[in-house]
Amino acid sequence: MPTSRRNNQSLATQILGYLASDLGILVVAALIILAVYAIDTMRPLGEPVWLLYFIPLILSYWSSRYYAIPTVFIVTVLFLVAGFFLSPQGIPVQMAILNRFTFFLLFFIVSLLLWTVRGRQIREETL
């Protein structure tokens, strides 16, 4: 691409380029985690707001950092537990624990699968 054309990129193109970068992906994932946590603490127990935690997990798949997926998993689990304690009462606590534990198991399996596939891709890219 000629340098004159590269310098004349629109602001939207520059922003999208930044968001598609590795740092941009991690920043967007962190912001989504914080937003979901904030919503989770405001909504009563029983409303499955925590399903939105899948969005940053899937975003971390496109990061070139090998430990992005496990990092998102660990941070999300911490926010999931904190959200349980800080959410207002909704459904019975036993049911809320069961719901969140089921989500934890599913989230763990999906994280493990994504991390395995991404690890293979990163190893193939470095060959």
> Would you state the pLDDT for residue 16?
61
| Per-residue pLDDT tens digits of the chain, which is 127 residues long | 455 455 567 876 766 666 567 788 888 899 999 999 999 999 999 888 988 999 999 999 988 888 889 999 999 999 999 999 999 988 999 999 999 999 999 999 999 999 999 999 988 888 7
C-alpha distances (whole Å) from 59 to each of 9, 33, 49, 93, 94 are 25, 11, 18, 31, 31
User: Looking at residue 73, what is its pLDDT?
Assistant: 96
Contact 72, 30 (CB under 8 A): no
Residue 7 is predicted with a pLDDT of 59
User: 51: alpha, beta or left, given left = phi > 0 and alpha = psi -120 to 50?
Assistant: alpha
> What integer pLDDT is reported at residue 17 of this predicted model?
65
Q: What is the pTM of this model?
A: 0.80
On whether the CB atoms of residues 68 and 60 are closer than 8 A, the answer is: yes
pLDDT value, residue 76: 95
Q: Do residues 26 and 63 touch, judged by C-beta distance below 8 A?
A: yes
Instruction: Give the C-alpha separation, 54 to 34, whole Å.
Output: 13
Q: Residue 50's pLDDT is what?
A: 84
